[in-house]
Amino acid sequence: MRLALAQVDAVLGDVPANIERAGRAIAEANDSGADIVVFPELSLTGFSMADIVEDVSMPLDDPRLTDLAKQARGGLLVGFPEAQAHGLHTYNSAAYFEGGKLVHVHRKLYLPNYSIFEERKHFLPGQTSRAYPVQGGKHRAATLICNDAWQPQLAFLSTQDGAMIMLVPAASAQSMFPEHYDSRDYWQGITRFYGRMYQLYVVFVNRVGTEGQLRFWGGSHVVDPWGEVVAEGRGYEEQLLTVDIDVTEVRRRRRGIPLVREARLGLLRREIDRLLEEGGDL
């Protein structure tokens, strides 16, 4: 399987410009023979929703999304603000299309609401986490949007739901915290841990560019089921990074060391139920 990681910038609030940029990246990915092309978080609108005056949200059946999906020769994962019926809710979503049709939509589950991040002001958190078929059902993937990947239980759920590829579209900026934090180092620590412990491919696709105080650093990369970085994009500049992966390596890795098989879901459910009864939920 050939993946194309579309490490692109976005013009804040300018949906036509961002769709045009996405179309160019899709065409380049098609030329490279990519089976799946993955874009960063909110790639069609930009990240800083508080600075966008107009409503840039889109329903899942928006013809602009459908048109992009039809341009891709294979699968397409693209990030955008999703408008729900009656205009009541907006989600930070990443939709996966294949053969020009919607296969799955992931709505960001954990919305940062600290420092300069105020996503809960603009989005409703999603309520489900599911793996889904890719390449006509030959394999299964799952999506975690940026901060979702900082919650290891979601990666665990995705793995137990059959995911062999974890797609992580992100809008990660550098120098947001003054002490003991380097975005690139943290992200590679997270993705390499998931590759090793959940024995799957992790595809991290970060954007580039600047929005106010946010400077997005790129560094998109792919981690294999042994936790090794097998491809990495440049920092702070646009790039279409292509990489070939062999999903059969996931099965081989999981047979050799059966960490995923030994999850003991019943035990976990009992203990989670106990914690909920003790008041452990927000």
Beta bridge partners of 36: 3, 75
Q: How is residue 274 written in tokens? A: 């106990």
Which residue bears the tokens 């602009």? 64
pLDDT digits (tens, 9 = 90+) for 237-266: 999 999 999 999 999 999 999 999 999 999
The tally of CA atoms less than 13 A away on the side-chain side of residue 159 is: 26
- Best CA proximity match to 71, nearest among 27, 112, 134: 27
Structure confidence at residue 207 (pLDDT): 98
Domains of the chain, each with CATH number or no CATH: 2-247 (3.60.110.10)
pLDDT band of 178, cuts 50, 70, 90: low
Taking the C-alpha atoms of residue 282 and residue 261, their distance in angstroms, rounded to an integer, is 30
pLDDT band of 87, cuts 50, 70, 90: confident
Structure confidence at residue 257 (pLDDT): 95
Q: How is residue 280 written in tokens? A: 């452990």
Which residue bears the tokens 């901060």? 147
Residue 252's identity, in one-letter code, is R
pLDDT digits (tens, 9 = 90+) for 218-232: 999 999 999 999 999
Q: How is residue 227 written in tokens? A: 């936790």
pLDDT digits (tens, 9 = 90+) for 127-176: 999 999 999 999 999 999 999 999 999 999 999 999 999 999 999 997 55
Pick left, alpha or beta for residue 45 (phi over 0 → left; psi -120 to 50 → alpha; otherwise beta): alpha
Taking the C-alpha atoms of residue 226 and residue 199, their distance in angstroms, rounded to an integer, is 7
Compute the average pLDDT of residues 89-102. 97
The full 3-state SS of 267-279, as one line of letters, equals HHHHHHHHHHHCC
Compute the average pLDDT of residues 97-117. 92
